[in-house]
Amino acid sequence: MKQIKLLTMLFSGLLILGSCGKAELRSEIKKLKSEITDLKTTTRVDVDGHIAKWPVSSQKAAQEMLDKYGLPQGITNEMLVWNKTGLFKKTIVYKEDTINLFPERHSDVLEQVVDFAVPKDKVLHLWEFDGSISIDKVKGELIARNQSEEMNVLALNLAVEIIAGKFTPEQARKEFSSTWEAFKRGNASQYVTNLNFSQSSNSGNPDQSIPVIKMQAQEVNP
């Protein structure tokens, strides 16, 4: 019924906008077609077809997340997005196949996000630990991007222990390598299977505004 209604709207829109400019007409048609398309129920077959030409590593990560969390809430040509998946605030599988050589050669295609405020004096330590770890200061997010959820869990756990002062970046890198090797042999520790820290929804830092008048005064009177 909704599709019929929207098609009727599209036809009516064509009649009403007949006297308008071509740009407005094209915009309205595009908008209505988008609404019709959004009514389509996405299935697993649809998503499988969507990622069929993605790199193998991206397809593998996507299939693992689909099996674990079901259909994504967002689908674009470049990514699949899930919100509030298990341990994570957000999970994203990217089409882009980014090569990372630590602790071994792999593709960083799976990004997962937690709420965690990183102190300013620990930012460089995390950069030295693992290039797959990133920070969103404003949102208060700690982000890991690796080839699998297990690698992300391990990276996030060690990142938090660096912040807590338990490991130096170099010690954390050695712990990552040895724990990952043990996991591949079938020995899974809590570093790999569970997040060993608490998350807080109040971890964001929106920073402070600087009025333009104040900035101009500072420039005039340094």
Tokens 């996507």 correspond to 62
pLDDT, mean of residues 203-216: 73
pLDDT band at 4 (very low <50, low <70, confident <90, very high): very low
* DSSP-assigned letters across all residues of 151-219: HHHHHHHHHHHHHTTSS-HHHHHHHHHHHHHHHHTT---HHHHS--S---TT---------HHHHHHHH
Burial of residue 71 (CB within 10 Å: 0-12, 13-18, 19+) is middle
- pLDDT tens figures, 120-147: 999 999 999 999 999 999 999 999 999 9
- Coil, strand or helix at 138: coil
Residues 6+ apart with CB under 8 A from 92: 79, 80, 81, 82, 110, 111, 112, 113
Q: Taking the alpha carbons of 35, 40, 42, 46 in that order, is the dihedral positive or negative?
A: negative
pLDDT at 216 over 70: no
All structural domains of the chain with their residue ranges: 2-38, 44-193
pLDDT at 12 over 70: no
What is the dihedral angle through the alpha carbons of 105, 110, 112, 117, rounded to the nearest 10 degrees? 40
Compute how many other C-beta atoms are within 10 angstroms of the C-beta atom of residue 33. Answer: 13
- pLDDT tens figures, 65-87: 999 999 999 999 999 999 999 99
Token pair, residue 162, equals 């660096």
pLDDT band at 209 (very low <50, low <70, confident <90, very high): confident
pTM, rounded to two decimals: 0.77
Average pLDDT, the chain: 86
Q: Taking the alpha carbons of 74, 87, 179, 183 in that order, is the dihedral positive or negative?
A: negative
pLDDT at 57 over 70: yes
- Coil, strand or helix at 27: helix
The H or E element spanning position 93 is strand 88-100
pLDDT, mean of residues 203-214: 75
